[in-house]
C-alpha cells in the first residue's frame, strides 16, 4: 500500500483488521508527512517517540481486544491537556506548561487505541477565526486559489487540525468549537467536522474558553470517520459536572444513507444580504440533493438569528474573563520579570500583558466590562435572555416536525492570511455556526463543492439535541450525493 497517510480511519481500520497493514507502517507514513509539512505550521509539538510506542502497542493487540481506533494516528489540538506533553492553548502565557494529567477526551482516545502524532496549532485560547492569533504563528491552508500562491487561512480556531487532516498529515484530529471553531475550519479545508450536543463530550482537561459553549469534536476526512471518532470521544464523565448521563448510541451503525421522509428545514434568516452567489447556489444544490434522497424540504423561520453574534460576543467574553483569571503567573506558565519594588498586582498586570495576545486581551477586557457593576443587567443578563429566545426558536421548529436544518457553513470560502479585518468583520465568520453553540445543539459541516477559485465550500446540518446519530446519517446522505472528492495539490 502506498500513501498510507491518505487513508480514512475506516479504511485503515479494516486493512489492519485483515492483517494487510500495521499501525507502525501507518504511523511512520504520517510521521514522514508531518516532517515534510513545516510550511503548513500545523503540528507545533511533535511526539514521534510517543506515537511509535503507541503504534507498537496497538500492533500487539489481537482478536476481540482490538478497540475501535486501534493504531489510528491522530493529531491533537493544543487546547487538550496531554500528560507530560506541552499543552499551551497556543498562548505565550502557558509557555512551558506540561500537564500532570490527561484530558478525558485524549484518555478515551488512547483507551480506544489511538496514536498521538503531536499537538496542533490553533488560535490563542481558541479565540479567532483564522488561526492568526496563535503564539506559534499562522497555520496555513493546504488549499490555494488556482495558480495564485498566496497563503490562505485554514480557518479557526481549530486551524491546525483542519490543515493537518486536509493535507493528510494524520488520519483525523480533535477540535473544539465554541462559536464555530470546528465547522468553519472544516468548511475552509474540505473536511468534515462535528460539534456534538453540549454535554455529549467531557470538557475535563480541555483549556476552558467559554464553559457554557465549549464542546470538543472530531475533524475527519469523511462522515463515517466522524461517527467512529465521535463514538470514542463521547460519554459521561463524573469530572465534568455538565457531562450528560445519556447512553451513547452506535453512530457508525446509524449510517444507512436512508433519509426518506425526514423533514429538512431551510431557515430564511440564513439568506443574508450580500451573500455570495456561490454560497447561495451551494445551499440550493444541497437542498435539492436531500430532496432527491427522499427528504421533505420545509421553509422555516428562526427569528432571533440576527442577534446570535451580538449575544455570543457578550456571553463568550464574559465567561472567558472569568476562566482566564487563573493565568496570573503563580501556578503555571509565564511570569513577567519584575522591577524593584513591584508587588503582586504589578506581577499580575505585567504577566497578563506579556502573556496574552491582543485578541485575548480584548475579549478578557470586554468580558470584564459587561460583567462589571452597573452593566451586568444591561449586557450580560440581556444576552442570556436573548440566548434563551434563540434556543426557543430551534425548539419551536423541532416541535413542528423538523428533523434537521440545512444552512451554509460559512459566509465565504477561505480568505488570505493577513487580510487585516477589523475584529467585528472577523466575528462575522461565525454567523451561521454560532447559533448552534448558543442553543447547545449538534452541528456538522460537510464539504459539498468548490467555488470559482477552486476552494472548498461546506454545508452545515443542525440536529436535535442528542440526535447526533440521525444528524450524521443525514450528513452521510448529503456527502454521498455531493460526491466531494477534491484534494489540495501538494505544494508544501
Neighbour count for residue 235 (Cβ, 10 Å): 17
Residue nearer to other proteins on the CB measure, 88 or 184: 88
Residue 72 as a binder of other proteins (CB under 8 A): the answer is no
* Identity of the residue, 314 or 409, whose beta carbon is nearer to other proteins in the bound complex: 314
Pick one of 46, 298, 384, 480: the residue that binds other proteins (CB under 8 A).
Answer: 384
Comparing CA positions, the residue from 241, 303, 242, 233 lying closest to residue 268 is 303
- Select the residue interacting with other proteins from 326, 372, 400, 401 (CB under 8 A): 372
Phi, psi (rounded to 5 degrees) for 486: -60, 145
Give the angle 167-169-175 at the CA atoms, nearest 5°. 85
77 as an active site residue: the answer is yes
**Which residue, among 488, 461, 454, has the nearest Cα to 476 in the 3D structure?**
461
Cis peptide before 157 (omega within 30 of 0): yes
Q: Tell whether residue 209 is a contact of other proteins (CB under 8 A).
A: no
Local structure of residue 101 (DSSP, 8 states): S
Catalytic residue among 23, 163, 181, 202: 181
* Cβ 316 vs Cβ 210: under 8 Å: yes
Q: How far is the CB of 251 from other proteins (least distance, A)?
A: 19
Q: How many residues bind other proteins (CB under 8 A)?
A: 73
What's the CA gap between 80 and 481, in Å, rounded?
34
Residue 440 binding other proteins, by CB under 8 A: yes
Q: By rule CB under 8 A, what string of x and - marks binding of each residue 154-193 to other proteins?
A: ----------------------------------------
By the rule CB under 8 A, 212 interacts with other proteins: yes
Judged by CB under 8 A, the chain residues 391 through 410 that form the site for other proteins are 391
> Residue 472: which residues within 8 A CB-CB, separation 6 or more?
194, 223, 226, 227, 230, 251, 254, 255, 444
- Identify which of residues 84 and 418 has a Cβ nearer to other proteins in the complex: 84
Candidate list 157, 161, 166, 243, residue with the active-site label: 157
List all residues 6 or more positions away from 397 whose beta carbon is below 8 Å from its beta carbon. Answer: 265, 267, 300, 301, 302, 405
| Contacts of other proteins in 15-54 (CB under 8 A) | none
Position among 147, 345, 485, 489 found at the interface with other proteins (CB under 8 A): 345
Least gap, CB of 436 to other proteins (angstroms): 11
Nearest one of 446, 431, 457 to 180, comparing CA atoms: 431
Any idea of the CA torsion for 338, 132, 186, 145, to the nearest 10 degrees?
-160
- The yes or no reply on residue 143 touching other proteins (CB under 8 A) is no
Binding other proteins (rule: CB under 8 A), the pick from 253, 297, 388, 490 is 388
What mask of x and - would describe binding to other proteins in positions 349 to 368, judged by CB under 8 A? xx-xx--x----xx-xxx-x
Residue in 77, 78, 29 with CA at minimum distance from that of residue 55: 29
Q: Which of residues 273-312 bind other proteins (CB under 8 A)?
A: 304, 306-307, 309-311
Site for other proteins in 110-139 (CB under 8 A): none
Q: Give catalytic residues, as residue numbers.
A: 77, 157, 181
Amino acid at each position: 500500500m502506498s500513501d498510507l497517510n491518505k487513508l480514512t480511519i475506516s479504511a485503515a481500520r479494516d486493512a489492519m483488521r485483515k492483517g494487510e497493514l500495521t499501525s507502525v507502517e501507518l504511523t511512520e507514513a504520517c510521521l514522514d508527512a508531518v516532517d515534510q509539512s513545516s510550511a503548513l505550521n500545523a503540528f507545533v509539538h511533535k511526539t514521534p517517540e510517543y506515537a511509535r510506542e503507541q503504534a507498537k502497542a496497538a500492533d500487539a493487540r489481537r482478536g476481540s481486544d482490538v478497540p475501535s481506533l486501534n493504531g489510528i494516528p491522530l493529531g491533537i489540538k493544543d487546547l487538550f491537556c496531554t500528560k507530560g506533553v506541552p499543552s499551551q492553548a497556543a498562548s505565550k502565557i502557558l509557555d512551558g506548561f506540561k500537564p500532570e494529567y490527561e484530558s478525558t477526551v485524549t484518555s478515551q482516545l488512547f483507551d480506544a487505541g489511538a496514536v498521538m502524532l503531536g499537538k496542533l496549532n490553533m488560535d490563542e485560547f481558541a479565540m479567532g477565526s483564522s488561526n492568526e492569533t496563535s503564539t506559534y504563528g499562522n497555520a496555513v491552508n493546504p488549499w490555494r486559489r488556482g495558480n495564485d500562491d498566496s497563503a490562505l487561512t485554514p480557518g479557526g480556531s481549530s486551524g491546525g487540525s483542519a490543515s493537518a487532516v486536509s493535507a493528510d498529515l494524520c488520519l483525523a484530529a480533535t477540535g473544539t468549537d465554541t462559536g464555530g471553531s470546528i465547522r468553519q475550519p472544516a468548511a475552509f479545508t474540505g473536511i468534515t467536522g462535528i460539534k456534538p450536543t453540549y454535554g455529549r463530550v467531557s470538557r475535563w482537561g480541555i483549556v476552558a474558553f467559554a464553559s457554557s459553549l465549549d464542546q470538543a469534536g472530531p475533524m475527519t476526512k469523511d462522515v463515517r470517520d466522524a461517527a467512529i471518532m465521535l463514538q470514542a470521544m463521547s460519554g459521561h464523565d463524573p469530572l465534568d459536572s455538565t457531562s450528560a448521563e445519556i447512553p451513547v448510541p452506535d453512530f457508525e451503525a446509524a449510517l444507512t444513507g436512508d433519509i426518506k421522509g425526514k423533514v429538512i428545514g431551510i431557515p430564511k434568516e440564513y439568506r443574508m444580504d450580500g451573500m455570495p452567489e456561490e454560497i447561495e447556489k451551494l445551499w440550493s444544490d444541497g437542498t435539492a440533493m436531500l430532496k432527491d434522497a427522499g427528504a421533505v424540504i420545509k421553509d422555516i423561520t428562526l427569528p432571533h438569528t440576527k442577534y446570535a453574534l451580538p449575544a455570543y460576543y457578550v456571553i463568550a467574553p464574559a465567561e472567558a474573563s472569568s476562566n482566564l483569571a487563573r493565568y496570573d503567573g503563580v501556578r503555571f506558565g509565564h511570569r513577567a520579570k519584575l522591577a524593584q519594588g513591584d508587588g503582586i498586582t504589578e506581577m499580575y498586570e505585567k504577566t497578563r500583558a506579556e502573556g496574552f495576545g491582543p485578541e485575548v486581551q480584548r475579549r478578557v477586557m470586554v468580558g470584564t466590562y459587561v460583567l462589571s457593576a452597573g452593566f451586568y443587567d444591561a449586557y450580560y443578563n440581556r444576552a442570556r435572555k436573548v440566548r434563551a429566545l434563540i434556543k426557543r426558536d430551534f425548539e419551536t421548529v423541532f416541535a413542528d416536525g423538523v428533523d434537521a436544518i440545512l444552512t451554509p457553513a460559512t459566509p465565504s470560502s477561505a480568505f488570505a492570511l493577513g487580510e487585516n479585518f477589523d475584529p467585528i468583520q472577523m466575528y462575522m465568520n461565525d454567523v451561521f455556526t454560532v447559533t448552534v453553540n448558543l442553543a447547545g445543539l449538534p452541528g456538522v459541516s460537510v464539504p459539498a463543492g468548490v467555488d470559482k477559485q477552486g476552494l472548498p465550500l461546506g454545508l452545515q446540518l443542525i440536529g436535535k439535541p442528542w440526535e447526533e446519530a440521525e444528524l450524521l446519517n443525514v450528513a452521510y446522505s448529503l456527502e454521498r450525493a455531493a460526491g466531494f472528492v477534491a484534494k489540495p495539490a501538494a505544494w508544501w
